Chain A
Amino acid sequence: MTPSASKPFEILLVEDNPADVRLTLEALEEAGVPHHLHVASDGVEAMAFLKTGGAARPRPDIVLLDLNLPKKDGREVLQEMKDDDVLRHIPVIILTTSQADLDVARCYQLRANAFITKPVDLDNFFGVVRAINDFWLRSARLWRG
């Protein structure tokens, strides 16, 4: 646990499917880590959130990023984040339905921090969200500037 752990984690979820947003929210609730979940439903919105800042848009501690998104897709968001001096250190977890090798290779090349294919089964999905919590929020030490 980081010293500042008492402060809730700021999580940016970039996901266009409201059903998946809600499901992720439920899974995070069950995992029981204090957090604020911010949602961007497309890539443009996500970049606006990351770049504009302000009280309503705190810098996230971690980004959960879907790949297939309207307007600007996840690969572009990933690339722009990793090309940006300020945003580069934020861990980006790709959370997608894609199983394509091509996507996996591409995302790691663009310096994604992890690539996770959304499990179909609910228990497994909850398990994945718990694992993300356990590793990135509980075990890993993040740079919170």
Chain B
Amino acid sequence: MASGRDIHSASSQPGSAPEPIQFPSEQLFRAVVESSPNGVVMVDAAGEIVLVNRETERLFGYSRDELLGKSIDLLVPHRFSDRHPEFRATFHANPQSRSMGAGRDLFGLRKDGSEVPVEIGLNPIETGGKLFVLASVVDISARKRAEARFRVAVEASPHGMMMVDPAGRIVLVNREIERLFGYPREELLGQLIELLVPSQVRDRHPALRSDFEANPQRRAMGAGRDLYGRRKDGAEIPVEIGLNPIETDEGLFVLASVVDIAPRKKADEELRRSNDELERFAYVASHDLQEPLRTVTSYLQLLSRRYQKQLGGDAAEFIDIAINGAGRMQRLITDLLAFSRVGTRGGALEPTDAGAVFEKTLDALQAAIDDARATVTAEELPMVLADQGQLGQVFANFIGNALKFHGPEPVCVHVNARRAGRFWTFSIRDNGIGIEPQYFERIFVIFQRLHGRDEYPGTGIGLAVCKKIVERHGGRVWIESSPGHGATFFFTIPCVPD
């Protein structure tokens, strides 16, 4: 390899070098140095710059002529320049290729007085008995900017973010983590992540970390379990944690996002409480409403029983209308009670033979089925996870619905079930009058009716109860239909877990 002095002499300062040595590869070498994306600076033993390339000119804002022959200290910020000769001496005492200022942030001083963040690699080159240092200087301001943006983004994230190194030590946290766990960041950095794990799982946590390491993929932590973090004050807080593996040449880092779900838990609890209250209210109200209603009905009947003959001609009719009204209210209240009981009086969800429940329902409905001259058939039905009584209610309401809304032909109802993931989808197909799509949602709302009371009796509770029961099981109900072409009701019920 040619000496630096020769190169720079040949390229920049012809004449100042006594004997330019021509290597066949010199042209090539010069081109390589010139076009290097890194700044290249060669310095002699006295610290004098003997070679620079184009990137160095760009990086520091000096032209080549302004640099050659000057001390390298020209490019060192004043706050470091005091110690720089000392560093150079150290290097010369033990010259070997290495990066400069390991662990420290390095800056270069530009001609305009501004500083630029750099990374510097040092290579000793000995030629002609003299020691030169070839420094390659990389402008890392773009990376620093990206890092700064990353830091700002991480810092500003409404979620807690932290990074853990392969040994399980915390290397990065943001403000939200500080707030969540109540530690200032200097008390977290360098600590094992187990510091933030509640004591009852702390012992198991390193094993869980190894599991993640064995199969690193982006996922939620502790799926299906409630997770808690341990605050500095010892309190445990409910959290949701997302894990993102980050492969680096130093090993597997994990970026974890931690969400404080205490507010959500609180909202859930409030919702549950208010639902419970509402159900209790409906139950109590309907119970207490029954009594005055019974009084109204009873006394109207007593009136009719004792005094009908003494009252005028329309009296009987008026009394009948009033009694009918009270009777209707009675049914509404009974239905409301049944509706509220879905939530308050539901049993546990247990492995249940849907086929047996269906047969039992059929027996109970036999009279109504015979009256309607209907045929009700079913495929083989599976075991499901259900409240047996409520599943029977769902079958009864859907079949009852089909019997009621029949078309001109004899009623045919067919029940089927298909597995779809963790659920079974049941279908109940009829050949009745069908429903227009704009009513698909409405039919499942309590006391919503699509037909006049004279056409079809009922309060409009059956399908609402079905929906409530199915939703209590974690499933959903829907309908496919068109007017005149029958309807198929669908509902999902969870499978029995393996």
> CB within 8 Å of B: which residues of A?
17, 19-20, 23, 26, 97, 118, 120-123, 125
Contact = CB atoms under 8 A, between A and B. Distances in A.
A136 to B, nearest CB: 22
Contact of A120 (B299, B302, B330): B330
Nearest to B302: A122
B104 interface: no
Q: Dominant SS at the B interface?
A: helix
A97 B295 contact: no
Contacts of B291: 17, 97
Interface in B297-356: 297-299, 301-302, 305, 330
B295 A20 contact: yes
B68 to A, nearest CB: 103
B302 A121 contact: no
Contacts of B330: 120
B302 A23 contact: yes
A127 B427 CA distance: 46
B290 interface: yes
Given A97-B290, A97-B291, A123-B305, 13 more contacts: A17-B295, A19-B295, A19-B298, A23-B299, A97-B294, A118-B294, A120-B297, A120-B330, A121-B297, A121-B301, A122-B298, A122-B305, A123-B301
Nearest to B300: A122
Interface residues of B, number: 11
5 contacts: A23-B298, A97-B294, A120-B330, A122-B298, A125-B298
Contacts of A97: 290-291, 294
A67 B190 CA distance: 69
A97 B293 CA distance: 12
A46 B230 CA distance: 59
Nearest to B294: A120
B297 A122 contact: yes
Interface in B260-314: 290-291, 294-295, 297-299, 301-302, 305
Residue of B290, B294, B298, B299 contacting most chain A CB atoms (<10 Å)? B298
When A and B form their complex, which 6 residue pairs have the shortest distance between CB atoms, in order from nearest?
Answer: A122-B301, A19-B295, A122-B298, A120-B294, A23-B298, A122-B302
B295 to A, nearest CB: 4
A23 B301 CA distance: 11
Nearest to A120: B294
Contacts of A122: 297-298, 301-302, 305
Nearest to B305: A122
Nearest to A18: B295
A118 B295 CA distance: 11
A2 B161 CA distance: 90
A20 B293 CA distance: 12
Contacts of A20: 295
